[in-house]
């Protein structure tokens, strides 16, 4: 078996693995990124054909968290970043009608009473209950709670059904009754603790929407970031179709794939938590069990191209989300050509529908043909679409959405407490401390820096 040698072996070539490799290379170390799939990028994947630019996974980077934009700047592609088109209105489906999320809201929650009063999404009973959040006593315990429990307690049942479920849980394709408030939305908990009222706390901030919008992307899709990262690494750093099958440790690490191996002073696992569990089991069964306990959801993205005249809906905004109580097959839909410039040929529209997730776990058991047909029928009905699409693309993401369920932070703390018992082995990626492109980049670069410190210290001790 041929054995390569590097300072660090990285299992996983998604955005976390690539960002870690970039940081290690920037600091003068050698590394090998071992990616099980046929291409780098993980869930970041952009198809470009016949004038269409189709993001199969995430299509945006959050500006508020600067790690992704900073990396683009370092890679020399920051001048290519584009903001979302106006208007940036998103909608929530209720009884088959699309209701706009009010302007000036925070995570969908109206900050001003006047905006709440104007909203067509809620009944007057629901509006009054949400307005009463200002006088709801703050929580008296410090235990973690689900998103649904927190929002129901502070804002009422209607807010839980039509805001928390499709928006807060929907961002993570998860079950609102299971996802952890503390792990995913700590700012809301802090607002309650400090001010006694979430709405009062955020109203006091006087936050104004940025003219550039909350998100950015690249003209060729988010896949451009992956392309730039790979190009910035030394040739041969990224190896695809190279699934890590075993890790042994005898002074240094021997990281094996089918038919080859890498000898390295340190190992960084940037793979899903369940994949990390399989590799850690030989070292620490308790640690492996903790990693294996991180839940994952499966989703599918279905993209369609149409001529503009086929779609009777005005498509003013970015798209819509669908609450679970609506019993609708879609989780959400994006009007891509209303959100980003240059994603389709002139006179055409591109849209994406999303299926599955934690609330609909068996949806992806169906065939490709059924999933495409389901998404197409749902979009045609919601948006008044006539005729056949020009093309349809289905992208399955099996067990790719980590679910930070109640107790996740305690689980991660237990993992981090046991991990030092395997010196030189590090964990990064979305299964543990980071969800979303910016957080994955920041976490991976920080983890890579710790690997550098470990190798430097180890080398000094050897001398």
> Looking at residues 187-205, what average pLDDT do you find?
86
pLDDT > 90? residue 113: no
Tokens 């210290």 sit on residue = 457
Q: What is the pTM of this model?
A: 0.94
Backbone φ, ψ for residue 416 (5° rounding): -70, -25
Tell me if the bond preceding 150 is cis, omega within 30° of 0.
Answer: no
Yes or no: say if 56 and 395 are a contact pair by the CB < 8 Å rule: yes
Rounded distance, CA 89 to CA 104, Å? 11
- Provide the pLDDT confidence category of residue 259 given band limits of 50, 70 and 90: confident
- pLDDT value at residue 114: 84
> Looking at residues 60-64, what average pLDDT do you find?
93
pLDDT > 90? residue 454: yes
- Provide the pLDDT confidence category of residue 401 given band limits of 50, 70 and 90: very high
pLDDT digits (tens, 9 = 90+) for 307-343: 999 999 999 999 999 999 999 999 999 999 999 999 9
Is 3.50.50.60 the CATH classification of the domain at 104-205?
A: no
Tokens of 279: 């590799």
Lowest-pLDDT range, 62-66, 111-115, 230-234? 111-115
> Looking at residues 132-157, what average pLDDT do you find?
91
- Provide the pLDDT confidence category of residue 444 given band limits of 50, 70 and 90: very high
- Provide the pLDDT confidence category of residue 141 given band limits of 50, 70 and 90: confident
- pLDDT value at residue 109: 83
pLDDT > 80? residue 402: yes
- Provide the pLDDT confidence category of residue 206 given band limits of 50, 70 and 90: low
Mean pLDDT score of the chain: 94
User: In sequence order, which residues have a C-beta less than 8 Å from that of residue 297 and are 6 or more positions away?
Assistant: 173, 174, 356, 357, 358, 361, 399, 401, 403
pLDDT digits (tens, 9 = 90+) for 368-394: 999 999 999 999 999 999 999 999 999
- pLDDT value at residue 463: 47
Cα dihedral value 317, 322, 323, 324, nearest 10:
-170
pLDDT > 80? residue 229: yes
Tokens 């999404």 sit on residue = 121
User: In sequence order, which residues have a C-beta less than 8 Å from that of residue 132 and are 6 or more positions away?
Assistant: 156
- pLDDT value at residue 251: 85
- pLDDT value at residue 459: 64
- Provide the pLDDT confidence category of residue 207 given band limits of 50, 70 and 90: low
pLDDT > 80? residue 231: yes
- Provide the pLDDT confidence category of residue 204 given band limits of 50, 70 and 90: confident
Domain range list for the chain: 3-43+221-294+405-462, 49-61+296-403, 104-205
- pLDDT value at residue 97: 95
What is the CATH code of the structural domain delimited by 3-43+221-294+405-462? 3.50.50.60
Between residues 37 and 196, the one the model is more confident about: 37
- Provide the pLDDT confidence category of residue 210 given band limits of 50, 70 and 90: low
Q: Class of the 49-61+296-403 domain?
A: alpha beta
């Amino acid at each position: 078996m041929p054995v390569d040698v590097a300072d660090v072996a990285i299992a996983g070539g998604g955005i976390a693995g690539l960002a870690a490799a970039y940081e290690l290379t920037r600091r003068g170390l050698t590394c090998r990124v071992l990616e099980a799939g046929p291409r780098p990028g993980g869930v970041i994947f952009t198809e470009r054909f016949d004038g269409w630019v189709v993001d199969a996974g995430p299509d945006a980077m959050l500006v508020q968290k600067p790690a992704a934009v900073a990396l683009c700047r370092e890679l020399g592609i920051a001048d290519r970043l584009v903001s979302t088109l106006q208007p940036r209105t998103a909608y929530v489906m209720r009884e088959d009608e699309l209701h706009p999320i009010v302007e000036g809201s925070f995570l969908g929650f109206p900050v001003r009473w006047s905006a709440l009063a104007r909203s067509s999404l809620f009944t007057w009973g629901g509006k009054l209950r949400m307005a009463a959040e200002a006088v709801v006593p703050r929580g008296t315990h410090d235990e973690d709670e689900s998103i649904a429990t927190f929002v129901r307690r502070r804002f009422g049942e209607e807010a839980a059904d039509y805001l928390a479920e499709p928006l807060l849980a929907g961002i993570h394709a998860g079950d609102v009754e299971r996802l952890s408030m503390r792990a995913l939305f700590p700012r809301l908990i802090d607002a309650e603790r400090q001010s006694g009222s979430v709405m009062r706390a955020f109203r006091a901030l006087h936050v104004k929407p940025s003219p550039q919008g909350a998100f950015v992307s690249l003209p060729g899709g988010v896949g451009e970031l992956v392309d730039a990262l790979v190009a910035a690494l030394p040739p041969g750093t990224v190896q695809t179709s190279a699934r890590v099958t075993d890790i042994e440790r005898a002074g240094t690490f021997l990281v094996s794939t089918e038919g080859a191996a890498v000898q390295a002073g340190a190992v960084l696992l940037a793979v899903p938590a369940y994949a990390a569990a399989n590799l850690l089991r030989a070292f620490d069964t308790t640690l492996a069990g903790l990693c294996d306990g991180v839940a994952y959801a499966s989703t599918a993205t279905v993209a369609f191209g149409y001529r503009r005249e086929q779609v009777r809906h005005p498509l003013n905004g970015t798209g819509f989300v669908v609450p679970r109580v609506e019993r609708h097959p879609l989780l959400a839909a994006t009007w891509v050509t209303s959100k980003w410039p240059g994603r389709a040929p002139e006179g055409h529209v591109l849209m994406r529908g999303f299926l599955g997730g934690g609330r609909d776990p068996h949806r992806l058991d169906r065939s490709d043909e059924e999933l495409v047909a389901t998404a197409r029928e749902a979009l045609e009905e919601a948006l008044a679409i006539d005729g056949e699409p020009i093309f349809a693309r289905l992208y399955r993401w099996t067990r790719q959405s980590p679910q930070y369920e109640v107790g996740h932070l305690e689980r991660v703390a237990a993992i981090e407490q046991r991990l030092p018992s395997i010196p030189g082995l590090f964990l990064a990626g979305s299964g543990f401390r980071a969800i979303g492109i910016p957080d994955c980049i920041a976490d991976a670069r920080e983890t890579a820096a710790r690997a550098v410190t470990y190798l430097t210290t180890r080398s000094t001790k050897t001398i």
